[in-house]
């Protein structure tokens, strides 16, 4: 049985596609929060936030400017809710957003990104997250899934957001693996409730952790015959 399980993993991971090398590049910092619908099909979700430019080692695809006069911000918008699954208490509520959303990432001054005190959109959100032009990266958000666990320990409704981004433009597009490998994935912790640290009114989730992971270049797979694979596990 053990050999069969190992063999199945080899077939799934080694023969059906390429292994993926992931490089962290974007890490969220405060403030990063969302507003909009999590439960009403046809409604939209928006996210604004900042990146922690001091958290990554040298050699990353983008050369971060660590000057205190420079900030890195993003704005995700236009994600339309296609399906909401209301989980039982103690399980996950799941919100599924299809294609159509966009993301823009900015670098520059002034260092003024602010969520504002009133429900967004307001005088400072999202405007202070997008007031540096042009964007260094722009792209399309695909297949965003937001999961929130009810009655979980710690912050209320803690969960995660997963999705993919295809970068299509921006002044720094060629820095991230050229234009031939623009697809990225992300996995972000989200939380809500009084203990999550949400600022301002009208926001529904706080986003933290890794936002995007690079997907390039794939590691080439080695072709093997069925007989040679079976001999490895005898």
Whether the pLDDT of residue 66 is over 90: the answer is no
Q: Of 89, 210, 214, which is closest to residue 161 (Cα–Cα)?
A: 210
Local confidence band at 168 (pLDDT 50, 70, 90 cut-offs): confident
Mean pLDDT of the chain, nearest integer = 76
Count helices and strands (H / E) in the chain.
2, 10
Average pLDDT over every residue of 8-16: 27
Whether the pLDDT of residue 218 is over 50: the answer is no
> Looking at 1-10, 63-72, 90-99, 127-136, which range is the least confident one?
1-10
Whether the pLDDT of residue 104 is over 70: the answer is yes
Q: Residue 114 corresponds to which tokens in the numbers above?
A: 């602010």
The pTM of this model reads: 0.78
What is the phi/psi pair of residue 193, to 5°?
95, 175
Q: Report d(CA 177, CA 148) in Å as an integer.
A: 33
pLDDT of residue 143: 85
């Amino acid at each position: 049985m053990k050999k069969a399980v190992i063999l199945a993993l080899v077939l799934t991971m080694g023969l059906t596609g390429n292994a993926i090398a992931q490089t962290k590049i974007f890490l969220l910092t405060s403030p990063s929060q969302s507003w909009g619908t999590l439960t009403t099909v046809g409604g939209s979700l928006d996210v604004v936030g900042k990146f922690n430019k001091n958290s990554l080692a040298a050699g990353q695809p983008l050369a971060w400017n660590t000057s205190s006069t420079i900030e890195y911000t993003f704005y995700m918008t236009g994600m339309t809710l296609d399906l909401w699954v209301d989980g039982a208490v103690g399980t996950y509520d799941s919100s599924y957003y299809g294609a159509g959303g966009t993301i823009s990432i900015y670098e520059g001054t002034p260092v003024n990104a602010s969520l504002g005190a009133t429900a967004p959109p307001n005088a400072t959100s999202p405007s202070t997250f997008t007031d540096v032009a042009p964007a260094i990266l722009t792209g399309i958000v695909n297949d965003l899934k937001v999961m929130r666990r009810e009655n979980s320990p710690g912050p209320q409704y803690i969960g995660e957001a997963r999705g993919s981004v295809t970068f299509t433009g921006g002044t720094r597009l060629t820095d991230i693996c050229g234009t031939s490998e623009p697809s990225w994935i992300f996995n972000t912790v989200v939380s809500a409730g009084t203990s999550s640290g949400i600022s301002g009114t009208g926001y529904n989730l706080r986003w933290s952790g890794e936002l995007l992971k690079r997907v390039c270049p794939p590691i080439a797979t080695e072709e093997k015959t069925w007989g040679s694979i079976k001999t490895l596990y005898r």
